[in-house]
Amino acid sequence: MAGGESDVGRVMPFARPKPPRDGNPPTGRVVRSARLAAVPVAYAGRRIAGFGKRAAGRDPAAVDRDIRLRTAEHLFQVLGELKGCVAKLGQLLGLLELGLAPDLAEPYRQALARLHDSAPAMLPGAVHAELATHLGPHWRSLFLEFDDRASAAASVGQVHRARWHDGTQVAVKVMYPGARRAVLADLQALRRATPLFTALLPGADTRPVVEALCEEIRDELDYAREAVNQRAFAAAFADDPDVVVSRVIAQRGDVLVTEWLDGTPLSRLIIRGDADELDRLGVLIMRFLFSAPARGALVYGDPHPGNFLRMPDGRLGVVDFGACTPWPGTFLDVASDVGAAVIADSPADLEAAIRRHGFVAPGRELDIATVVARLRPVRDALLAPTYPLSADWLREQVRLVTDLRLTNVLRQLTMPPAHTPILRSFLGGVAVLCQLHTAVPLRAECTRWYPETAAAAGL
């Protein structure tokens, strides 16, 4: 056997499509669909090859693990190449893998760790062309230095380190050519999948929720909007002793220039595993997410380890402000109303609040006893000084939520579309805090930033 060559490469040589030579994502619907379709085809090929290996006496557990490892590598390679919405799917998968048993999750964890690094980068010529398009033909005069090597890759763009003409070290975010077209094509595919979500969640009005999610993702293509968001966060946290948000230097078209934050990505710190430091950073992340709207900023919609840094002075650095939205107008009323019922441990009041705020369709039955049980961790976290989060805790919550049996209470509930950004921020934030094994001071943060809401809820 040739070293490092996958068996499926011989069984089905078309299973691993070559990445585009210039690093730009393919934009055609047929091509993008074919890239994604190649993943299950290749998986089937690996399973066929695995039968032969088992028959030849190979250890079945080792064969199965090899299949999972190669499938994970292939999946995240394709997600990295396609970028756009499917790269965001890769981030979501990276959060959900915490809900898998450790032996099943390890191959996906390894592959995810390489997702951003392995995503094909734009070649210098393509980067220069984009800079000329958006900054003008004399764009080099704006910089004293510009590093053609990408420092980081995102779902719709990549970041280069540079020095602005006044000497400021900056991060230059350049959108991939064709990324907008690719994302819009992915959103159309997501809309076409709405009937599938309706089948899985018959109690939910999924179409407006999916449309709200699509609108939020489409907004992330607007770098002018992202610059406005970042300026709002930078102003809100300007004097904060624990959190730093860099200034926006310039924004033109699909190029965004901000101050460079010279910190260590949280994704690297997680690997090192300094428990006390990770817990400290987790508390700062929670405080950042909780306090931003109260400080006059927005809901931060994209919390994942790649967007948080530990600065040299110990502060938390935050980047990427594309997915940010205002509070829904009624959110604090909902929080106090539902929170009061949860803290009082009153099923009748909780059901009344859930129905009053549109989380279950009118006239639909609701297994309120199970809802109470599912919300028990929230009650415990609100009443205790700190509440420990962990991968094991998240694994159990994911198991309960993803149970496909008809009796799963999630199938009875729906989500008001206006609350979709809150849910995205909440789920992402909880997943990050579970990775950090944070003991969250939920009660203290609620009463500190939203005292009236906390008092109305009985805290």
Could you report the per-residue pLDDT of 66-90, keeping only the tens digit for each? 666 666 555 555 555 555 454 555 4
Query: Tell me: the pLDDT tens digits for 186-220?
Result: 666 666 655 555 544 555 556 766 677 677 777 77
The residue out of 100, 118, 136 marking a domain boundary is: 118
Residues 262, 154, single domain; the answer is: yes
Query: Quick one: pLDDT at residue 273?
Result: 76
Please count the CA atoms within 13 angstroms of the CA of 277 that sit on its side-chain side.
17
Residue 69 is assigned to a structural domain of this protein: yes
Contact (CB, 8 A) for 67 and 139: no
Residues 155, 84, single domain; the answer is: no
What tokens does 258 get?
A: 């901000």
**Which tops the pLDDT comparison, 256 or 74?**
256
Q: What is the mean pLDDT of the chain?
A: 78
Residues 198, 75, single domain; the answer is: no
Residues 173, 288, single domain; the answer is: yes
Query: Quick one: pLDDT at residue 179?
Result: 75
| Distance between CA atoms of residues 52 and 127, nearest Å | 47
Query: Tell me: the pLDDT tens digits for 92-106?
Result: 555 555 545 555 455
Residues 294, 336, single domain; the answer is: no
Residue 36 is assigned to a structural domain of this protein: yes
Residues 165, 238, single domain; the answer is: yes
Residues 16, 89, single domain; the answer is: yes
The residue out of 325, 343, 373 marking a domain boundary is: 325
pLDDT of 4 > 60? The answer is: no
Residue 237 is assigned to a structural domain of this protein: yes
Nearest to 176 by CA among 94, 87, 245: 87
Residue 1 is assigned to a structural domain of this protein: no
CATH number of 145's domain: 1.10.510.10
Residues 280, 296, single domain; the answer is: yes
Query: Quick one: pLDDT at residue 414?
Result: 79
Residue 305 is assigned to a structural domain of this protein: yes
> The whole model's pTM is what?
0.74
Reported confidence tier of residue 341, pLDDT bands at 50, 70, 90: very high
Residue 2 is assigned to a structural domain of this protein: no
**Which tops the pLDDT comparison, 115 or 283?**
283
Residues 305, 163, single domain; the answer is: yes
| Distance between CA atoms of residues 32 and 39, nearest Å | 12
Query: Quick one: pLDDT at residue 191?
Result: 66
Query: Tell me: the pLDDT tens digits for 386-429?
Result: 999 998 888 787 777 666 555 667 777 777 878 888 888 888 89
Residues 240, 287, single domain; the answer is: yes
Residues 162, 255, single domain; the answer is: yes
Return the C-alpha torsion angle 103, 398, 425, 327, nearest 10. Answer: 180
Total number of domains in the chain:
4
The residue out of 85, 118, 151 marking a domain boundary is: 118
What is the domain extent for residue 49?
Answer: 8-118
Residues 390, 249, single domain; the answer is: no
